[in-house]
Amino acid sequence: DDDEPPQCIAGGCGAEEDDSDDDHVGVPVECEPELFFVTPKPMMKNVGLHAKAALDIAVRIFNLCPSYGVGFLVLTGLAENYT
């Protein structure tokens, strides 16, 4: 019966299980990059007197593009980091 679809197994159609230390793309696990987060320093200093205005601007930016609004909060020092 040539009209039957191929049988799929857990690893995908026709894939064989590999018990080696390589990941799915063939790069050894030892070569995988380690990600870390560096807390950014605010670019704007002394926004204390204008913190409410800066927060209002951040909210308006956030409503248009959330990632830019959060970035603006970090830029002004109103938020310590992106998390």
Count of all residues that appear for the chain in the document:
83
Long-range Cβ pairs for the range 45-48 (8 Å, 24+): 45/77, 47/76, 47/77, 47/78
pTM above 0.75, yes or no: no
- What is the model's pLDDT at position 83? 72
Which residues are CB-neighbours of 60 under 8 A, at least 6 positions away? 69
Supply the pLDDT for residue 57: 95
The predicted pLDDT at position 39 comes to: 75
Nearest partner of 76 among 39, 43, 40, judged by Cα: 43
- The tens digit of pLDDT for each residue in 48-65 reads 889 999 999 999 999 999
Query: Does position 41 have pLDDT exceeding 90, yes or no?
Result: no
Q: 2-33 pLDDT, tens per residue?
A: 566 555 444 444 445 555 554 556 666 666 66
